[in-house]
């Protein structure tokens, strides 16, 4: 198993008995409602239903091999870029029909987080590698422009081995936020040149702390009040902070080991990588409305709430192998890369 998931697995095992209680309380209703039919190809609920295409991204593995597929983004040309940990292909570039257009490597064999941003009309990528303790900025052809190592400015970091970044996001002025999700759980802010500005968070209990700050994005749904939305995966939560690092709120999602938040229009999408055991292939996707209410679980049961608290969702255990991210196109179709999934290529969910 890759080192990136080891801490989450340990924490999962510690909590498994409590988590099982939630599953037990849900499972009778789940079976009685017959949520999953053997030959049903339609996933999701209410206005967010999809037909899954498992053959969408399939390639010749001798030409375009993959290991773990982590994250995907779409550029202005509607090309879909994906990180994979295979040394030959750190980045694969697809069109919306699933054809490979290009591939390249920057020797990031733990290539994980992938974000895209526009700088003066040109698009750039930020790629994280928790195994090699680095973050880099590249152009869309793989030219490395900037590389950031471990934050020597922060006293808690004694060596680069403690820095295992999983995600980045870039603000409108070019400031860079790095989530050290497999390291010390700090959110570290740099200017556009890579100069350290400040940090917040860290591993621990309490509103301002994280337990695997795996993903981060800037939520701009309130136009005049943008905020940071950050995963605390082992706690099954999102946490919201101001752009200056001040805590605002916690969004609790019991039973959901969340990867990263992805916002499209007024909705928040994310992959739930695991729902029951790290020893099984499962997981689902999830969609929240602007009021933080779960409204659809593609690959899972219909969302249920009891006394305003989410009932632990269940995977159908057939649609996904540990989904790690979502990418939403302009037609609101969803593309899904998968971690630890026997070298499978990404899937496409076609909205219906």
Band of pLDDT at residue 248, cut at 50, 70 and 90: very high
Cα–Cα distance measured from residue 65 to residue 72, given in angstroms and rounded to the nearest whole number: 16
pLDDT at position 279:
67
pLDDT at 142 over 50: yes
Cβ proximity of 279 and 268 under 8 Å = no
pLDDT at 269 over 80: yes
Cβ proximity of 124 and 137 under 8 Å = yes
Q: Strands 196-201, 216-219: parallel, antiparallel or unpaired by DSSP?
A: unpaired
Give the pLDDT confidence of 190-233 residue by residue, as tens digits. 999 999 999 999 999 999 999 999 999 999 999 999 999 999 99
pLDDT, average across residues 144-158 = 98
Rounded percentage of the chain residues whose pLDDT exceeds 90: 85
pLDDT at position 277:
64
pTM over 0.75: yes
pLDDT at position 272:
96
Give the pLDDT confidence of 35-67 residue by residue, as tens digits. 444 445 799 999 999 999 999 999 999 999 999
Domain that holds residue 48: 3-351
Count of structural domains, the chain:
1
**For 1-15, 104-118, 160-174, 192-206, which range has the lowest pLDDT when averaged over its residues?**
1-15
Residue 23 burial by Cβ neighbours in a 10 Å radius (0-12, 13-18, 19+): middle
Band of pLDDT at residue 7, cut at 50, 70 and 90: very low
Residue with tokens 């209990």: 205
Residue with tokens 């999809």: 50
pLDDT at 147 over 50: yes
The CATH number given to whatever domain includes residue 287 is 2.120.10.30
Give the pLDDT confidence of 63-85 residue by residue, as tens digits. 999 999 999 999 999 999 999 99
pLDDT at 351 over 60: yes
Q: How far is CA 99 from the centre of its chain?
A: 23
pLDDT at 99 over 90: yes
pLDDT at position 224:
93
């Amino acid at each position: 198993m890759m080192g990136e998931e080891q801490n989450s697995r340990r924490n999962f095992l510690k909590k498994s008995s409590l988590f099982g209680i939630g599953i037990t309380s849900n499972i009778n209703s789940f079976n009685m409602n017959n949520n999953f039919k053997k030959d049903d190809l339609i996933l999701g609920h209410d206005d967010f239903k999809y037909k899954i295409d498992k053959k969408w991204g399939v390639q010749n593995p001798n030409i375009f091999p993959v290991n773990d597929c982590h994250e995907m983004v779409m550029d202005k040309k509607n090309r879909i870029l994906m990180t994979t940990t295979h040394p030959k292909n750190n980045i694969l570039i697809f069109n919306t029909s699933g054809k490979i257009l290009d591939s390249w490597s920057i020797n990031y064999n733990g290539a994980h987080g992938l974000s895209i941003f526009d700088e003066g009309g040109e698009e750039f990528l930020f790629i994280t590698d928790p195994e090699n303790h680095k973050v880099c900025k590249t152009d869309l052809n793989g030219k490395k422009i900037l590389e950031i190592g471990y934050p020597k400015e922060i006293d808690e970091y004694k060596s680069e081995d403690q820095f295992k970044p999983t995600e980045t996001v870039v603000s409108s002025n070019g400031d860079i936020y790095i989530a050290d999700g497999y390291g010390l759980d700090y959110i570290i802010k740099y200017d556009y040149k890579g100069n350290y500005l400040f940090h917040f968070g860290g591993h621990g209990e309490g509103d301002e702390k994280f337990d695997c700050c795996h993903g981060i994005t800037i939520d701009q749904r309130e136009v005049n009040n943008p905020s940071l939305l950050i995963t605390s995966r082992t706690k099954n939560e999102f946490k919201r902070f101001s752009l200056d690092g001040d805590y605002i709120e916690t969004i609790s999602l019991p039973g959901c080991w969340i990867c990263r938040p992805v916002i499209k229009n007024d909705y928040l999408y994310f992959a739930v990588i695991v729902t029951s055991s790290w020893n099984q292939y499962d997981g689902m996707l999830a969609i929240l409305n602007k009021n933080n209410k779960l409204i659809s679980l593609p690959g899972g049961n219909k969302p249920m709430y009891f006394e305003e608290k989410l009932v632990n969702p269940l995977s159908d255990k057939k649609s996904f192998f540990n989904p790690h991210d979502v990418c939403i196109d302009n037609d609101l179709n969803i593309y899904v890369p998968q971690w630890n999934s026997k070298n499978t290529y990404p899937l496409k969910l076609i909205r219906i």
